[in-house]
Amino acid sequence: MPDALGTRAAREPLLDVAKLEVTYGAIKALKGISLSVGKGECVALIGANGAGKTSTLRAVSGMLKPAGGTITLRGEKIAGKKSHELVPKGLAHAPEGRGVFPNLTVQENLDLGAYLRRDKAGIEADLQKCFGFFPILLERRTQPAGTLSGGEQQMLAISRALMSRPTLLLLDEPSLGLAPQVTQIIFRILKDVNAQGVSILLVEQNAHLALGLAQWAYVLETGEVAMEGTGSALLASEEVRKAYLGE
């Protein structure tokens, strides 16, 4: 593991990834990376396209079966488990491309997020919380999700993930293709979500935003961790600013 920039605050461990390997045929996308997310912590993964960021999230959430290494969630080894087995354990994934169900209404999409839950009062409370975060979803409640704008669909994808009441939320490129003002709204809400105790593992093309939100971050390069540190320390790093911030 490379040297860290800045000091990491002590956190109760939630997610621990050790020597994770992911392959696509003969191509090794992840070459033994290690990272962790503490309880209540926001951790960002930044890096160029093809660095292995999305592969990391997919392996953690059960969309991909690792070729090697371990993934531990609250002390339980989960590598190789299917996505539907991980949702009840408190893990939710809002993938790149939003992935809403276009022919279902906004309300039906949100209902699907809570499909494993039976606590009606809690579900209703979380539904109202999501409408509080994103009031436009309340206005669009009965519309098919496919008729929403890109920003509204991203709000819906995040809200649907939150409806499972996760302890760990995986987000893949939440700002992709969105107008700057919409992106600012979404990141403001993510800051609130994290402040309420939901841990976040974030993949984000906008390194400025990602490092501004994250307490800790990892820089991936060709399937390996090249650098890690606090968000503020990496923002101040000349190497990071030249490579990822266009300076």
- Tokens 């820089």 belong to which residue? 219
pLDDT in tens, 76-111: 999 999 999 999 999 999 988 778 999 999 999 999
Locate 14 and state its tokens: 């939630």
* Residues 25 and 53 grouped into a single domain: yes
* Residues 55 and 105 grouped into a single domain: no
* Residues 8 and 86 grouped into a single domain: yes
What pTM value is reported for the model? 0.94
* Residues 125 and 184 grouped into a single domain: no
C-alpha dist (Å) from residue 180 to 4, 21, 193: 31, 35, 20
Range of the domain at 177: 1-90+169-247
* Residues 1 and 83 grouped into a single domain: yes
C-alpha dist (Å) from residue 191 to 35, 58, 86, 234: 21, 23, 24, 19
Residue 110 · residue 141 · CB < 8 Å: no
* Residues 182 and 221 grouped into a single domain: yes
* Residues 73 and 176 grouped into a single domain: yes
pLDDT in tens, 52-80: 999 999 999 999 999 999 999 999 999 99
Strands 91-94 and 168-172: parallel
Q: Specify the pLDDT at position 247.
A: 61
Taking each continuous run of H as one helix and of E as one strand, the counts in the chain are: 10, 11
The last residue of a domain, from among 150, 165, 180: 165
The last residue of a domain, from among 116, 138, 165: 165
* Residues 80 and 4 grouped into a single domain: yes
* Residues 80 and 147 grouped into a single domain: no
pLDDT band at residue 246 under the 50/70/90 scheme:
low
Please give the Cα distance from 37 to 35 (Å, whole number).
7
Q: What percent of the chain has pLDDT over 70?
A: 98
Please give the Cα distance from 36 to 72 (Å, whole number).
9
Please give the Cα distance from 102 to 145 (Å, whole number).
5
* Residues 119 and 21 grouped into a single domain: no
The last residue of a domain, from among 122, 142, 165: 165
pLDDT band at residue 245 under the 50/70/90 scheme:
confident
CATH of the domain at 173: 3.40.50.300
* Residues 175 and 222 grouped into a single domain: yes
* Residues 81 and 11 grouped into a single domain: yes
How many domains would you assign to the chain? 2
